[in-house]
Amino acid sequence: MATTSARALSLLSMLSSGSTVAGEEIARRLGVSQRTVRRDVETLRELGYAIEPVKGAGGGYRLGPGGSLPPLVLDEEQVVAIAVALQTTSAVLRGIEETSRRALQTVRQVMPRRLRLDADAFTVTALPNQWEFPAPAPEADLVRAVGTAVRQRVLLRLDYDGTDDDSTDDAGPTSRVLEPHHLVVWAARWYLVAYEATHQHWDVLRLDRITHPELTGVPFVERDLPEGGPGALVQRTPARGDRLAPWPCTGSAVLALPAELVAQFAPGGAVVRGLDEDRCELSMGAWSWIGLAGLFITFGSPMTDVQPSELRAAFTRAGEHLSGSATSGRTQ
Task: Check if the beta carbon of residue 65 is closer than 8 Å to that of residue 72.
Answer: no
pLDDT at 66 over 70: no
Q: Where are the domains of the chain?
A: 4-63, 76-120, 142-230, 249-325
CATH for 249-325 (3.30.70.260, 3.90.1150.10, 3.90.79.10, 3.30.70.250)? 3.30.70.250
Q: Which has more confidence, 188 or 233?
A: 233
Kindly report, residue by residue over 274-309, the tens digit of the pLDDT.
Answer: 999 999 999 999 999 999 999 999 999 999 999 999
Would you state the pLDDT for residue 332? 46
Using alpha carbons, list the distances in angstroms from residue 172 to 161, 162, 163, 165, 167: 6, 8, 7, 11, 11
Among residues 2, 24, 26, which one has the least CA distance to residue 13? Answer: 26
pTM of the model: 0.67
Q: 4-63 has which fold? A: Arc Repressor Mutant, subunit A (1.10.10)
Q: Which amino acid makes up residue 38? A: R
Cα radius of gyration rounded to whole Å, the chain: 26
Q: What is the mean pLDDT of the chain?
A: 84
| CA-based torsion, 226, 230, 235, 240: positive or negative | positive
Q: Determine the distance from the C-alpha atom of residue 240 to the mean position of all C-alpha atoms in its chain, rounded to a whole number.
A: 15
pLDDT in tens, 233-242: 999 999 888 8
**pLDDT interval class at 111 (50, 70, 90):** confident
Q: Is the pLDDT of residue 136 over 90?
A: no
Across the range 149-156, mean pLDDT stands at: 94
Average of pLDDT values for 161-184? Answer: 77
Which conformational region is residue 42 in: left (phi greater than 0), alpha (psi within -120 to 50 degrees), or beta?
alpha
Q: By the 8 A CB rule, do 250 and 283 touch?
A: yes
Does the domain at 142-230 match CATH 1.25.40? Answer given as no
Beta partners for 282? Answer: 253, 272
* Percent of the chain topping pLDDT 90: 39
Mean pLDDT throughout 145-164? 90
The Cα 94–Cα 143 span in angstroms is 10
**Position with higher pLDDT, 179 vs 99:** 179
Q: Which residues pair with 61 in a beta bridge?
A: 21, 53
Decide if 23 contacts 61 (C-beta within 8 A).
yes
Angle (CA) 25 30 31, round 5°: 95
User: Is residue 73 predicted with pLDDT exceeding 70?
Assistant: no
Round to whole Å and give the CA distance between 86 and 93. 11
Query: In whole angstroms, what is the distance from residue 11 CA to residue 50 CA?
Result: 13
Per-residue pLDDT, averaged over 203-214, amounts to 93
Give the Cα separation of 104 and 265 in Å (integer).
35
